[in-house]
Structures are given as structure tokens and as C-alpha cells.
């Protein structure tokens, strides 16, 4: 009978030892069982295969197995020698092993206890896996041996350049783009290259409030943060003139300020470009959900304005990903740097390697080339517009709160009127009711000179949204 499967144990023999080879093997197998390396019911290697690997006689292996069989550690079972399954009933005989825990259904947020989860950070992925999505992955799986340059697949960069031309107003050449594992990885790549060039930590200005995960990237690499307050239109360039020290970089979300939601007008974008040119600084544009705008015409990306005065860009580094449009688990994005930065970025990327598997790049290429991303984007715009209407209908008439305008994106900001202490109180009441939401105040930088605003942030991508909104309404209108 054929051996059930190949088994390779990290057990060796020492021919210089006074202990016999059979005894060494016996001791090694026994230890493997006692420490949990071998579990009850696991098969052992065939005597012929193991004798060949250890360069000992088959009789030596047979003698060891017979000793362990006599001691009750092993049994002959279905043509193979196995660890006795009955040992599972004797916890002292084998090391306990923790039961495998299921992976949380979401990435980017903490696992939720039982209940309804309205925390932001996750798109609705229920509409993603369709015929077009499956076809793209089948096409990629047909060529699993494909390899791509460290800066990314040429075909993907070509398709992505066309996508950015049509949706974000930029018109890059494919060779100007680099594929990344997402916005955070792209920011890490940029900061590393700039710090190596300047041989010092960088001063990075960030919007306050802003996205905490990107602030963590900056500080984890040893750079300094400089929080700058935002208004309803984003970061104001007039605040930069009051700084005692000019930042090297400004990290911005001009298309849809995170989390407050305002869109930066073109005049302010042009003012920031002028400031960056005057102070030899770079603007990092986090275009995290630029395609998901509900109302009004899409504003040109900051990178597009930069390229109107300089053909290949001069002051803006555009970071993008497909985490909000498709799924965070896809782990793919892009960086569009100014021409002056690209050689250093490519050199560093080639030195450390590309982080995105070729098959993921090929699947996204097929998805883009077939026009499926465009169709999916249209579907999701309609869906999130409906979700926004649900939020307004459920909460819009509550006097104690205010809903910030939602022109696009995957989240909703609920301002809580009154004392700042109302936020933790409402969050705790939601938790007691079986509902998870995020606090608005957590988006301000630690030690921020601005006073954090109390409020809640909820995700429009949550499958729990309809029932979650009704439960949230009951919490917010509770009188006690």
C-alpha cells in the first residue's frame, strides 16, 4: 500500500555518539511527540525512505519503530506507522496545541465581538466576485510562472496609466508609474529614499485630523510629524507661512479629506503647489477613494495640476491603491512620482524587490483591460450613494447631532453636540447595545494644539448598515 504522504522530520543521528543509532531515532521520535511536533494520528516516514535519508540500514529504523510500538507511542495503521491516535486522550503524553483561531473577516480593523459592526475602513465586497472577476483570475492563473520587473508589470502600468487618464485627469506614461503594495507601502518607499538622499530624518506635515495609519508610517521610520489644522476645505496654505520650520513633505487628502470629507478647491490646490515650489517641498497626495465621488464633477487630482506646469511633474507624489474600490486584501497600489525622484525610487525598489506577487498584478491587468473595473466602479458609486441616503434618512433629523456633507467615499461623520465627554459615553452605549462605531476624536494627532471634535465615524461599506443605523438612532435619541 502506498504511503499516505511524504513526511520529513528534523531528526538526525550522530555516529560518534556512544548511544546506538536505533536508540537515537527512538529518542528523537519520542521527543517530537512529547513536544507536539508530531500529533496523535500523524504518519511517520516509511522505513525505506527514512533509512535512505538518514543513511542507516532499514533494520535500524524497524528496530526503533518496534521499540516505540512496544512503549505505546506508535501503531501500525493502514499500511503506515502512525502516532497512536489514542494519545489525544492523554494530555500529559503530548504537548497541548492551541486550537486554530479563524481569521477575522476584516483587515485593517480589530476583530469585532458578536453584534453589528459599523466601523469604517472596509468596502462592500459582496458585489466584487462576479464573472468578470473570476475570468481575470483564471487568465492570470494560466501563466503562474510570469515574472515582472521590480517596479511592476509593464502591462499593468500601461492599463493603470489609461485608468488614471480617464478617472483622475492625469496623463502619465506607463514607465512613470511604479506598483506598490498599497498607500502605506508607497509612503514607506518614498520616505526611505528621501531620507537616504538627505541623510537626516524628515519633517512631515500632516492634516489634523487625518489618517492615523499614515502618521504611524512616518513615526515608525524615525521621522517627525507636524500636525496642521484643517478647515472644511482641507489644509490651508496660509497656515504654512506661520511655521517656525518648513516641512520637507506635506501629506494631503485633497480629493476627500479624511475623515471630515471636504474637497479642496482648485484655487487652494494651486496655492499649495506654489508654496511647495517656493520652499522646495513635496506634496504627497493620498488619493484613497478618488473614484468614489457621488455629487458634482470630479476635481482634477493634485498631480494633474502639477503636470500642467511641468510635463512629468515637479512637486506632487501621487499615492493610490485599490483597497477602497475593490478590497484591502488585494494588497496592490501605485505611486506616481515627479521625474526627478523616479530614478532613486526605481533603484531602491530593484534593490529590495517588488512586494506584489506577479499573479495579483496579472489578474488586475486583465480586470482593467476588460473594462471590468470601470463597470464595478459605476456599480459601487450607485450603491454607496444609496447607503448615504440611508444614513441621512435614519439620522438626519436628530437635533443632538450633525451630519457632515458626504460628497463621496465610504464613511459618514456624525458630529456630537455638547461636551467633549459625550463621545466616549455614546461609544460605550453603542457597545452595550451590540454596535461598534469609531470615535472622531481619535483622528487628531497626539498632542495636537487643536481641540479634537467629539463625534462618530461609521462605515458605509458595512453589510450591517441598515440594521446598524436603526440601532444607532435608538442610542442617539435615548433620553437619560
Task: For 290-328, write each residue's pLDDT tens digit.
Answer: 777 776 666 778 888 888 877 777 899 999 999 989 998
Q: Per-residue confidence at 94, pLDDT binned at 50, 70, 90? A: low
Residues 174 and 291: their CA atoms lie apart, in Å, by 20
Cα-based angle 419, 420, 425 (whole degrees, multiple of 5): 95
Instruction: State the average pLDDT over residues 112-141.
Output: 87
Nearest CA to 459 out of 393, 396, 406 is that of 406
Percent of the chain with pLDDT over 70: 91
In order, the DSSP letters of 195-261 are: HHHHTS--EEEEEES--HHHHHHHHHTTPEEEEEEEETTEE-HHHHTT-SS--SEEEE--SS-TTT-
Please, which pLDDT band fits residue 272 given cuts at 50, 70 and 90?
very high
- Average pLDDT rounded to a whole number, residues 180-203: 95
Nearest to 90 by CA among 28, 35, 40: 40
pLDDT in tens, 160-178: 999 998 888 888 899 999 9
CATH 1.10.10.10 residue ranges in the chain? 1-100
pTM for the predicted model, two decimal places: 0.79
pLDDT tens digit string along 428-463? 999 999 999 999 999 998 877 778 899 999 999 988
d(CA 150, CA 178): 9
Residue 112 has pLDDT above 70, yes or no: no
Buried b (16+ CB within 10 A) or exposed e, 356-378: bbbebbbbbbbbbbbebbeebbe
User: Any idea which of 8-17, 77-86, 290-299 has the lowest mean pLDDT?
Assistant: 290-299
Residues 169 and 303: their CA atoms lie apart, in Å, by 9
Cβ(302)–Cβ(266) below 8 Å: no
CB 458 within 8 A of CB 437: yes
Q: How do 234-235 and 224-231 pair as beta strands?
A: antiparallel
CB atoms within 10 A of CB 100: 6
Largest alpha-carbon pair distance within the chain? 86
Asked whether the beta carbons of 275 and 238 are under 8 A apart, the reply is no
Residues of the chain with CATH 3.40.640.10: 131-373
Confidence of residue 93 (pLDDT cuts 50, 70, 90): low
Place of cell 484591502: 328
Determine contact, residues 159/179, Cβ cutoff 8 Å: no
Average confidence (pLDDT) over 382-406? 90
Does domain 1-100 fall under CATH 1.10.10.10? My reply is: yes
The residues of the chain that CATH labels 3.90.1150.10 are 116-126+375-476
Q: Kindly report the average pLDDT of the chain as a whole number.
A: 87
What's the pLDDT band for 1 if we cut at 50, 70, 90?
very low
Average pLDDT over residues 191-216: 94
**Can you give the pLDDT at residue 317?**
95
Q: Of residues 78 and 236, which shows the higher confidence score?
A: 236
* pLDDT tens per residue, range 325-357: 999 889 999 999 999 999 999 999 999 998 999
How many CB atoms within 10 Å of residue 382?
A: 11
Residue 107 has a pLDDT of: 40
The fold adopted by the segment(s) 131-373 is 3.40.640
Centroid of chain to Cα 378: 23
Tell which CATH architecture fits domain 116-126+375-476.
Answer: Alpha-Beta Complex (3.90)
From 101, 459, 393, select the one nearest 259 (Cα to Cα). 459
For residue 226, what are the contacts with CB-CB under 8 A and spacing of at least 6? 203, 204, 205, 206, 243, 245, 247
Residue 378 has pLDDT above 70, yes or no: yes
pLDDT at 283 over 90: yes
Comparing 96 with 45, which gets the higher pLDDT? 45
Work out whether the CA dihedral 351, 357, 358, 364 comes out positive or negative. negative
**Span between the terminal Cα atoms of the chain, in Å:** 74
**Are the C-beta atoms of 36 and 97 separated by less than 8 Å?**
yes
Which stretches within 72-182 are classed as H helix?
Answer: 131-141, 154-167
pLDDT band at 104 (very low <50, low <70, confident <90, very high): very low
Q: What is the mean pLDDT of residues 80-90?
A: 82
In the predicted structure, residue 110 carries a pLDDT above the cut 50: no
Amino acid at each position: 500500500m502506498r504511503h499516505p504522504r511524504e513526511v520529513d522530520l528534523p531528526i538526525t543521528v550522530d555516529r560518534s555518539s556512544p548511544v546506538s543509532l536505533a536508540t537515537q531515532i527512538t529518542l528523537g521520535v519520542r521527543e517530537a511527540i512529547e513536544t507536539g511536533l508530531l500529533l496523535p494520528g500523524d504518519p511517520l516516514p516509511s522505513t525505506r525512505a527514512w533509512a535512505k535519508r538518514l543513511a542507516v540500514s532499514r533494520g535500524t529504523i524497524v528496530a526503533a519503530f518496534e521499540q516505540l510500538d512496544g512503549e505505546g507511542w506508535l501503531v501500525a495503521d493502514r499500511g503506515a506507522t502512525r502516532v497512536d491516535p489514542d494519545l489525544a486522550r492523554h494530555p500529559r503524553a503530548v504537548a497541548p496545541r492551541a486550537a486554530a483561531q479563524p481569521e477575522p473577516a476584516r483587515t485593517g480593523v480589530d476583530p469585532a465581538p458578536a453584534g453589528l459592526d459599523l466601523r469604517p475602513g472596509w468596502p462592500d465586497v459582496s458585489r466584487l466576485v462576479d464573472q468578470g472577476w473570476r475570468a481575470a483570475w483564471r487568465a492570470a492563473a494560466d501563466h503562474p510562472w510570469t515574472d515582472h520587473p521590480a517596479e511592476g508589470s509593464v502591462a499593468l502600468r500601461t492599463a493603470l496609466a489609461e485608468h488614471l487618464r480617464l478617472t483622475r485627469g492625469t496623463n502619465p506614461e506607463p514607465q512613470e508609474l511604479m506598483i506598490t503594495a498599497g498607500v502605506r507601502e508607497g509612503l514607506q518607499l518614498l520616505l526611505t529614499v528621501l531620507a537616504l538622499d538627505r541623510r537626516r530624518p524628515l519633517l512631515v506635515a500632516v492634516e489634523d485630523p487625518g489618517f492615523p495609519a499614515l502618521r504611524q508610517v512616518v513615526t515608525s521610520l524615525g521621522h517627525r510629524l507636524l500636525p496642521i489644522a484643517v478647515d472644511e476645505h482641507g489644509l490651508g496654505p496660509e497656515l504654512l507661512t506661520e511655521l517656525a520650520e518648513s516641512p520637507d513633505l506635506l501629506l494631503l487628502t485633497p480629493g476627500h479629506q479624511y475623515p471630515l470629507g471636504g474637497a479642496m478647491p482648485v484655487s487652494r490646490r494651486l496655492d499649495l503647489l506654489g508654496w511647495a515650489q517656493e520652499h522646495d517641498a513635496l506634496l504627497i497626495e493620498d488619493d484613497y477613494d478618488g473614484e468614489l465621488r457621488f455629487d458634482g464633477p470630479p476635481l482634477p487630482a493634485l498631480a494633474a495640476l502639477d503636470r500642467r506646469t511641468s510635463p512629468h511633474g515637479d512637486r506632487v507624489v501621487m499615492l493610490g491603491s485599490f483597497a477602497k474600490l475593490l478590497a484591502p486584501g488585494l494588497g496592490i497600489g501605485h505611486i506616481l512620482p515627479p521625474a526627478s525622484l523616479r530614478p532613486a525610487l526605481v533603484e531602491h525598489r530593484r534593490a529590495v524587490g517588488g512586494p506584489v506577487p506577479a499573479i495579483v498584478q496579472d489578474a488586475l491587468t486583465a480586470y482593467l483591460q476588460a473594462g471590468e473595473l470601470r463597470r464595478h466602479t459605476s456599480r459601487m458609486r450607485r450603491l454607496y450613494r444609496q447607503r448615504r441616503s440611508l444614513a441621512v434618512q435614519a439620522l438626519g433629523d436628530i437635533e443632538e447631532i450633525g451630519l457632515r456633507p458626504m460628497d463621496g467615499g465610504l464613511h459618514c461623520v456624525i458630529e456630537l453636540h455638547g461636551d467633549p465627554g459625550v463621545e466616549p459615553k455614546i461609544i460605550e452605549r453603542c457597545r452595550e447595545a451590540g454596535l461598534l462605531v469609531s470615535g472622531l476624536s481619535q483622528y487628531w494627532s497626539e498632542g495636537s494644539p487643536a481641540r479634537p471634535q467629539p463625534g462618530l465615524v461609521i462605515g458605509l461599506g458595512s453589510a450591517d448598515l441598515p440594521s446598524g443605523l436603526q440601532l444607532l438612532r435608538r442610542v442617539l435619541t435615548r433620553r437619560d
